[in-house]
Amino acid sequence: MAKVAFIGLGTMGYPMAGHLVKAGHEVCVYNRTLSKAEQWVSQYGQHLALTPAAAAEGAEFVMTCVGNDQDLRQVTLGEEGVIHTLGRDAVLIDHTTASAAIARELDAACREQGAGFLDAPVSGGQAGAENGALGIMVGGDDATFARGEPIMQAYAKAIKHLGEAGNGQLTKMVNQICIAGLLQGLAEATHFLKRAGLEGEAVFDVIQHGAAGSWQMSNRHQTMLNDQYDFGFAVDWMRKDLSLVLDEARRNGARLPVTALVDQFYADVQEMGGGRWDTSSPLKRLEP
């Protein structure tokens, strides 16, 4: 079993770090809010560090799962970042949804000191993290992936190596484009069926088994019909992710008119006070 550091104990990171303990690994955690780290240590009986660098010292694998590029740069390359204690032959695995640019930057920084790097954003939401059933999209060299994959199995349902550093983040962007479009379509379909006088549960009971079916439909149609939006990934985080998507599209020349429009619909939801509502909430802007 491995000695592991886990940096970032948010909605996703907290249970992911717990799964590493359950898999038999020795885990040292760091979290910006100390009380959250103390709670985790109390629950799992492991170790606590007061800086990212301290957590990473002596670790074979260092996992990061924080909010955005700025947060990631601080805990990795900052004054107390893990790069200062990351050992030669250690592997830094980043689970943050961030830009492909910072993934490549971290890959270069790790190579300079003989360490490995994988950008490995996840999909599956809070439920996937808690159940150890995440999808993980990984960029990095073959040898580093071969070392990192068994560790990530602790909280994964599927892991796919997608080539060089940065490709994991680019694949997560594809994922978010798909989700945004699906949820807007589901919101409009729900709005339409209500206006048409149809019974929502009956409609979704039949169409989710056909070509229109999706994870979002199966798992969110009932909560949307009930006007409930406290289930998983928040609008604020989706807008952060879509900003990464649209920035990358400007760089590579991709044309994403629907994604850009849905991003503005999510901005409307934020203006309604729904920044912490889950991503099925575009229905609210159709039925204020």
- 157 is an active site residue: no
- CA–CA gap between residue 42 and residue 34 (Å, rounded): 12
- CA–CA gap between residue 111 and residue 105 (Å, rounded): 10
Q: Name the DSSP letter for residue 37.
A: H
- CA–CA gap between residue 179 and residue 239 (Å, rounded): 12
Tell me which of 3, 172, 194, 284 is the catalytic residue: 172
Nearest-CA neighbor of 165 among 60, 264, 233, 94?
Answer: 94
Nearest-CA neighbor of 145 among 168, 122, 123?
Answer: 168
Q: 10 Å Cβ neighbour count for 165?
A: 25
245 CB-near residues (< 8 Å, 6+ apart): 173, 176, 177, 256, 259
Catalytic residues: 172
